[in-house]
């Protein structure tokens, strides 16, 4: 309950944090993100080839194995988020799961190098792994998913903790943090999809173990950087389990369901804690009023856990509930992303890979959107955000939900372009297999989706961190990765479902995505299906984004950006389509910290 709030949990300007945090601390985190993502992004776009040409999986099996791996990785981020919010601080959580990740990469390196751990061609369209070889293969993938997922669940919040959103001097740093986190990711990814992929696929896919070695060493050095930075970090102390706090609200609300609502919300139970270092209170809202019954103290009852909850605790559950439709609305976009890491890579393998005399690996084509993002992210952060801030008074230029909306529109456009490019590729391949179209035709769909990802991923990370209750920052930011996880899993489901349905209705009795020969498939129709689905999903998202009400603190003393400086302003909800001067969200404001300073 509120009485037991841990000092220093949600206040990073307390004496024990003086001289720590800020850009100096996050520089170590940026180094880890860049080095670790060299291998992770390279694996995201190239493992489908490893599964096809070293493990001898067929087209759909290779794609589904990769999407299931990525889905499991991002889903397991909730484990890292939960542990770092409840038991171990975010720094130590990252190191523990980082050790698991490096161990898994070492196992994959050993398998790729040792021919006795690799299957032999079976002469069938799809070979199955069996025995100890299969156990070793899938064990390494499971450990990789657990390690990478755990790091993803705790690392973004660790970096954001280095800035105090309630300090006007640090608010802009927090607004830029997620942009620079993405820049570190794509910078490392750019090296991964060029150098590592080229090394791994060189000499007809015979050097995969060398690529895994570089990936392993890069991740290991990255975690060394993270460990070295410990003296500079602001480390939050985990307290109550966020899931227990949620369960308490639901259970008590059910127990009190027959009690009448009080005439005024001020009659609901709240702890009057004046400690400036206690967890911030959240103002009462009218949505989901049935949960308010958890904050009704029955007559002749002493306040205690599982008998009554504070208004803040109830509002925490309301915040998480309001987030759920936003998570659901971004799943389709991540399903589209999965196609660019599976089928689009396989498309590139059947296209002209030469740039002059240099042969470009098919899995390296995603370097195009990564380069776009490396260039655009600094421009966005240093040019667009300050420019937009003058009109919207929003520290981030535009709201997080507006950023996500832009990304969803661009993802639908990317799938439409992908369908057109596939028609052109297949037409030329059937006409003259010896003169395929250039690999760089894929740059259009990758480029547009790269910009979409720049808007959506950063928007979601910042949205979930800022809106999260104080004790649920890691768990909340892991919602971004959960959306990715469901997107990858949905990709596997859609591939199997489309194959099953089209197999029964097509004259050839073959599914759109059967076998290994893309020229005999209808991948373009699958892309059109995703494009239409993305358009429908955008309107679904638009409804929930307009409906969403940003979290409010109990205090009305806040700051907004005006003429480049923080000025006092009152809190109210911000509309999705327009951020007006007199209508500024808690997610876009900075609380007055003059009392603490």
Tell me the per-residue pLDDT of 155-182, one tens digit each, with 9 for 90 and over: 998 988 888 877 767 766 777 888 889 8
Q: What is the mean pLDDT of residues 91-109?
A: 95
> Looking at the predicted structure, is the pLDDT value of residue 566 above 80?
no
- Percent of the chain scored above 70 by pLDDT? 84
Q: What is the pLDDT of residue 471?
A: 73
pLDDT band at 560 (very low <50, low <70, confident <90, very high): very low
- Per-residue model confidence (pLDDT) at position 573: 41
Confirm whether 38 is domain-assigned.
yes
Question: Mean of the pLDDT values across residues 369-381?
Answer: 84
Domain annotation covers residue 474 = yes
The counts of H helices and E strands in the chain are 18, 5
Same domain, 189 and 53: yes
Residue 79 lies in a domain: yes
- Kindly list the distances between the CA atom of residue 159 and the CA atoms of 164, 166, 201, 234, 480, in Å, as whole numbers in the listed order: 11, 16, 34, 9, 16
Q: What is the per-residue burial (b if ≥16 Cβ within 10 Å, else e) of 203-236? A: eeeebbbbbbbbbbbbbbebbebbeebeebbbbb
User: Which pLDDT does position 397 carry in this prediction?
Assistant: 79
Q: Is 330 left (phi over 0), alpha (psi -120 to 50) or beta?
A: alpha
In the predicted structure, residue 505 carries a pLDDT above the cut 60? yes
Residue ranges making up the domain that contains 584:
558-591
- Please write the tens of the pLDDT for every residue from 288-316: 888 998 899 888 778 877 888 888 889 88
Q: What's the rounded Cα separation, in Å, for the pair 305 and 311?
A: 13
Least confident piece of the model among 60-64, 454-458, 530-534 = 60-64
DSSP letter assigned to residue 279: P
Task: With respect to residue 525, please indicate whether it lies within any of the assigned structural domains.
Answer: yes
Q: What is the DSSP string of 350-380?
A: TSB-EETTEEPPGGGTTHHHHHHHHHHHHHI
Same domain, 207 and 128: yes
Share the mean pLDDT of the chain. 81
pLDDT recorded at residue 338: 83
**Residue 276's Cα: distance from chain center in Å?**
32
Determine what percent of the chain falls in helix, strand and coil, rounding each to the nearest 5.
65, 5, 30
CB 592, CB 568: distance < 8 Å:
yes
Query: What is the average per-residue pLDDT within 241-253?
Result: 87
Res 95: pLDDT: 95
- pLDDT value at residue 371: 83
Closest CA to 20 of 138, 142, 161, 155: 161
Question: How much is the pLDDT for 188?
Answer: 92
- Which CATH number is 145's domain given? 1.20.1250.20
Average pLDDT of span 203-229: 89
* Cα separation, 192 vs 585, whole angstroms: 39
State the Cα–Cα distance between residues 450 and 329, nearest whole angstrom: 19
- 310 & 164 share domain: no
Q: Which residue has the tokens 């993405």?
A: 182
Place 553 in a pLDDT band, splitting at 50, 70 and 90.
low
Write out pLDDT tens, residues 140-153. 999 999 999 999 98
| Residue 203 confidence (pLDDT) above 80 | no
**Are 263 and 389 in the same domain?**
no
My answer on whether 233 and 250 are in the same domain is: no
Same domain, yes or no: 139 and 260? no
pLDDT at 233: 92
Query: What's the rounded mean pLDDT across residues 409-436?
Result: 91
Does 262 or 11 have the greater pLDDT score? 262
Residue 556 confidence (pLDDT): 36
Report the pLDDT value the prediction gives residue 588, as an integer from 0 to 100.
36
Residues 196 and 138 in one domain: yes
Q: Are residues 374 and 280 in the same domain?
A: no
Closest listed residue to residue 144, CA positions, set 93, 108, 120? 108
* End-of-domain residue from the set 261, 294, 317: 317
Residues 465, 153: Cα–Cα separation, whole Å: 12
Residue 570 has pLDDT above 50, yes or no: no
Distances (CA, A) of 145 to 138, 139, 152, 330: 10, 10, 10, 21
Question: Do 263 and 344 share a domain, yes or no?
Answer: no
d(CA 212, CA 196): 8
Task: Output the pLDDT for position 531.
Answer: 95
List the structure tokens of 193.
């999809």
pLDDT at 144: 95
Q: Are strands 358-359 and 354-355 parallel, antiparallel or unpaired?
A: antiparallel
Instruction: Indicate whether 162 and 284 sit together in one domain.
Output: no
Q: Please determine, for residue 341, whether its predicted confidence score (pLDDT) is greater than 80.
A: no
Domain boundary among 287, 317, 347: 317
Quote the pLDDT of residue 45: 76
Confidence of residue 102 (pLDDT cuts 50, 70, 90): very high
Structure confidence at residue 123 (pLDDT): 62
Residue that terminates a domain, selected from 289, 317, 345: 317
pTM, full prediction: 0.76
Query: Do 152 and 282 belong to one domain?
Result: no
The pLDDT score that the predictor gives to residue 586 is: 38
- Give the pLDDT of residue 267: 83
Evaluate whether residue 565 is within a structural domain: yes
Q: Give the pLDDT score at 126.
A: 63
Instruction: Yes or no: say if 332 and 533 are a contact pair by the CB < 8 Å rule.
Output: yes
CA proximity to 469, closest of 235, 278, 336: 278
Asked if pLDDT for residue 15 goes beyond 50, the answer is no
> Is residue 28 pLDDT above 90, yes or no?
yes
Count up the domains in the chain and report the number.
Answer: 3
Q: Which residues contact 577 (CB under 8 A, 6 or more apart)?
A: 402, 546
Share of the chain above pLDDT 90, in %: 23
List Cβ neighbours of 304 (8 Å cut-off, separation of 6 or more): none
585 and 530, same structural domain? no
Asked if the structure places residue 596 within a domain, the reply is: no
Q: What is the Cα–Cα distance from 189 to 43, expressed in whole angstroms?
A: 10
């Amino acid at each position: 309950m509120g009485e037991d709030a841990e000092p220093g949990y949600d206040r990073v300007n307390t004496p024990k944090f003086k001289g720590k945090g800020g850009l100096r601390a996050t520089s170590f985190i940026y180094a880890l993100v860049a080095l670790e993502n060299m291998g992770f992004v390279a694996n995201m776009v190239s493992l489908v080839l490893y599964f096809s040409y070293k493990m001898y999986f067929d087209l759909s099996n290779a794609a589904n194995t990769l999407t299931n791996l990525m889905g499991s990785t991002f889903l397991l981020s909730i484990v890292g988020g939960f542990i770092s919010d409840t038991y171990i601080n975010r720094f130590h959580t990252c190191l523990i799961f980082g050790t698991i990740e490096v161990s898994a990469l070492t196992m994959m390196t050993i398998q790729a190098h040792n021919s006795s751990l690799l299957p032999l061609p079976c002469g069938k369209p799809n070979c199955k792994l069996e025995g100890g070889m299969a156990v070793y293969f899938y064990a390494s993938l499971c450990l990789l998913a657990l390690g990478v997922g755990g790091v993803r669940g705790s690392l973004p919040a660790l970096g954001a903790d280095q800035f105090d959103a309630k300090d006007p001097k640090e608010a802009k740093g927090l607004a830029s943090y997620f942009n620079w986190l993405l820049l570190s990711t794509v910078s490392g990814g750019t090296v991964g999809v060029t150098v590592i992929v080229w090394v791994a696929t060189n000499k007809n896919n015979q050097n995969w173990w060398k690529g895994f070695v570089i990936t392993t060493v890069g991740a290991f050095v990255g975690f060394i950087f993270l460990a070295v930075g410990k003296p500079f970090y602001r480390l939050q102390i985990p307290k109550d389990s966020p899931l227990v706090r949620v369960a308490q609200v639901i259970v008590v609300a059910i127990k009190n369901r027959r009690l009448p609502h009080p005439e005024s919300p001020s009659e609901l139970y709240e702890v009057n804690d004046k400690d400036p270092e206690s967890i911030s209170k959240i103002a009462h809202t009218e949505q989901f009023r049935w949960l308010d019954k958890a904050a009704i103290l029955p007559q002749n009852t002493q306040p205690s856990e599982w008998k009554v909850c504070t208004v803040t605790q109830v509002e925490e559950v309301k915040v998480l509930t309001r987030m759920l439709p936003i998570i659901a609305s971004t799943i389709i976009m991540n399903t589209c992303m999965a196609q660019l890491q599976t089928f689009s890579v396989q498309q590139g393998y059947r296209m002209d890979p030469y740039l002059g005399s240099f042969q470009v690996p098919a899995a390296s084509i995603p370097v195009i959107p990564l380069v776009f993002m490396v260039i655009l992210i600094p421009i966005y952060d240093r040019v667009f955000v300050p420019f937009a801030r003058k009109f919207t008074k929003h520290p981030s230029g535009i709201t997080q939900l507006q950023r996500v909306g832009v990304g969803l529109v661009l993802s639908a456009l990317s799938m439409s372009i992908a369908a057109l490019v596939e028609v052109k590729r297949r037409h030329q391949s059937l006409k003259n297999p010896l003169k395929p179209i250039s690999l760089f035709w894929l740059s259009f769909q990758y480029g547009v989706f790269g910009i979409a990802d720049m808007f959506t991923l950063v928007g979601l990370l910042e949205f979930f961190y800022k809106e999260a209750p104080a004790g649920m920052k890691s768990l909340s930011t892991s919602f971004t990765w959960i959306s990715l996880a469901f997107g990858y899993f949905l990709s596997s489901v859609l591939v199997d479902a489309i194959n099953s349905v089209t197999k029964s209705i097509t004259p050839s009795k073959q599914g759109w995505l059967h076998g290994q020969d893309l020229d005999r498939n209808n991948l373009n129709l699958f892309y059109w299906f995703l494009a239409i689905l993305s358009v429908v999903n955008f309107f679904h998202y638009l409804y929930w984004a307009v409906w969403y009400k940003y979290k409010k603190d109990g205090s009305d003393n806040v700051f907004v950006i005006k003429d480049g400086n923080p000025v006092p302003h009152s809190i109210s909800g911000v509309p999705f389509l327009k951020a007006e001067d007199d209508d500024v969200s808690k997610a876009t404001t900075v609380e007055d910290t003059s009392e603490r300073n």
